[in-house]
Structure 1
Amino acid sequence: MTIVASGVMTLVDLNDAKQLMAYIGSSQQRQVIYNPNGGSYTPNYTTSNNVLTPQLFIAGKNTDIAAQAKSIKWFYQTNSSGAFTEITASDTNYTLGSTAPKTLTIKGNVLASANSITYMCEIIYTDTDTGYDVTTKAEYEIIKVTNGTNGQDAVRAIVWTPDGNITRNANGSVTATVDVYKGSSVVAGTAFKWYIQDPTATTSSGGDADGGAGWRLLNSTTNYGITGYTTKTITVPASAVQSVESFKCVVTYNNVKYNDVCTIIDVSDPIVVTIVGTNTFKNGQGSTTLTAKLFQAGAEIDTAGTAYAYKWSIYDSNNVKNSSFSKTGKTITASSSDINGRGNIVCDLDRS
Structure 2
Amino acid sequence: MPEWRKDPLVDRWVVIATERGKRPCDFKVVSDEKKGGRCPMCPGHEKDTPPEVTAFRETGSRPDTPGWWVRVVPNKFPAVRIEAQPGVRRRGVFEVMDGLGAHEVVVETTGHDTGLEFLDERQVEEVIWAWQQRSLDLRKDARFKYIQIFKNFAQTAGASLEHPHSQIVALPMIPPDISEELAGMKRYAQNTGRCLICDLLEQELGEQERIVQESGKFVCIAPYASRFPFEVWIVPREHQHDFGGIRADQVPDLALVLRATLRAIHDSIGRPPYNMVLHTAPVNVADTIHYHWHLEILPRLTVMAGFELGTGYYINPTPPELAAQVLRDQETFCPPPVYQQTEREVTHYV
TM above 0.5, one fold?
no
Q: Which has the larger radius of gyration?
A: 1
Identify the structure with the greater helix proportion. 2
- TM-score class, shorter: under 0.3
Q: TM-score, normalised by structure 1?
A: 0.25
Which structure has more relative contact order (CA 8 Å, sep 6+)? It is 2
